[in-house]
Amino acid sequence: MKRMLIFSVLIAFLLGAMAYATETRVMTMGEVNNVVKDDANILLYPSTINYYPKLFIGEVDAYANEYPLKQGGEDIIYKVGANLGFGEASENPWVLGVYFSTEPKVPSILDYYFYDKANAIYTNNRISLTYGRVLGEIPFGFNFNFYNVSDKNEDTTTSNNYDRSISTYEFNFGISPMEKKLDLAAGVAMTTWTDKDWEDPTLGVVDMSKPKGNMDLKLNARYWMDPMGGWVLIPHFGLMYSKEGMETYYDSAGTWTLDNTEKYTEVTFDLGLGMNYEATENVLVVTDFGFNLASYKDKYEYTTPDTTTEWKESMLTLPYFKIGIDGKVFKWMDFRSGVVTQWVLDTYEPTSYEKDKSKYAVTTTYLGAGFHWNSFTMDASINPDFLTTGPYFISGEDVDSPNMLATRVSLKYMF
């Protein structure tokens, strides 16, 4: 289950860096952001920001303060930002998206090393900027995400001294050529950190660990084929490559010495075929079918003794199915639901153990609703428990129970 969680996080990275648009709608339709048109597409394809120049967005998660990746304390409104249009009366209008989030970012190689330390630091999302404009007849977009936090102690009591910081820089580019039928996006992320601590009076403040090459690369593409009646097919492709390294040190008879070098790599490949079907004027059915392959390798090279250990894992999802619906119920409300099923072959190959192969299916279901009042939209992920249990004054359930109406909400105002 732990490896499946890592796999899910990796797929999330493949499909987008920071989710700064209305995520809830495409999630409750079965995680179909790649095959349905929505302002959430901006997180996958920065060029699509040109289609949404005037909106304000807030993302709400009832469990934000419980997730390792959302360290917002009690602030469950964990993302807020806006797309602003400029030069609308000119021949070259442009859009700037500015977003802020409580989400940190830590590379995979530091998951255990930093998180297990009593004085671990969590990097903060400082800002996310997305710029878009039309170059010729081709929409263009550029996204920059910056994460950083630092903590340094220069106490007169030298044994208290330390210096810790971590920074990540993400750059994403996108274009939408061929009359906006093709969406292309590429991105790169770089991470560095400082990890110094006081060891003893002789050694003083020394490097506990050092980064050794940390870079992530990704590529996403999709193509909107010509409509066939009410049907539109959307083939899509994604590739992510991550290479991370870390050196750790220890005290060897009074000398601060390299202990080991860790090299961690992740590769994910995704290929699928989505479909939009306008069943009626107010009902959209979405499907997605495909496969993805994720492989990981973690290698340790020790200096004393001179040994090497490693583990490998590959997770083949063949196939995955996604089905979702967005249908109008009232003028002010839409019904949404979706399901994702993955057939997984998990092959685990550690150095000192026999190869382990397991096959299983993972199915995730969603129930959602969209509410519209003039320029305001609220997309909600409905908690099914609420439908069966009801509110507190009916069920008598404790107010801290998970039986709330919605577990996740996206708020959008178009101006």
- Supply the range of the domain harboring residue 219: 2-414
Mind giving me the DSSP string for 331-352? TTEEEEEEEEEEEEEEEEEETT
The per-residue pLDDT for 306 is: 83
Instruction: Write out 303-326 in H/E/C secondary structure.
Output: CCCCEEEEEEEEEEEEEEEEEEEE
Is pLDDT at 352 greater than 90 in this prediction? no
Kindly state the average pLDDT of the residues 251-264: 89
The per-residue pLDDT for 68 is: 46
pLDDT digit string, tens, across residues 355-388 = 889 999 999 999 999 999 999 999 999 988 777 7
The per-residue pLDDT for 233 is: 98
Nearest to 414, CA basis, from 379, 371, 369, 377: 377
Most confident of 64-68, 74-78, 242-246: 242-246
Kindly state the average pLDDT of the residues 278-300: 95
Is pLDDT at 13 greater than 80 in this prediction? no
**Environment class of residue 58 by beta-carbon count within 10 Å: exposed (0-12), middle (13-18) or buried (19+)?**
middle
The per-residue pLDDT for 269 is: 96
- Residue with token string 């004054």: 393
Q: Are 214 and 265 in contact (CB under 8 A)?
A: no
Is pLDDT at 60 greater than 70 in this prediction? yes
> What is the domain count for the chain?
1
> How far from 359 is each of 157, 205, 226, 316, 318, CA to CA, in Å?
56, 48, 37, 10, 11
Q: How confident is the model at residue 206 (pLDDT cuts 50, 70, 90)?
A: very high
Q: Provide the 8-state DSSP code for 92.
A: S
Its pTM stands at 0.86
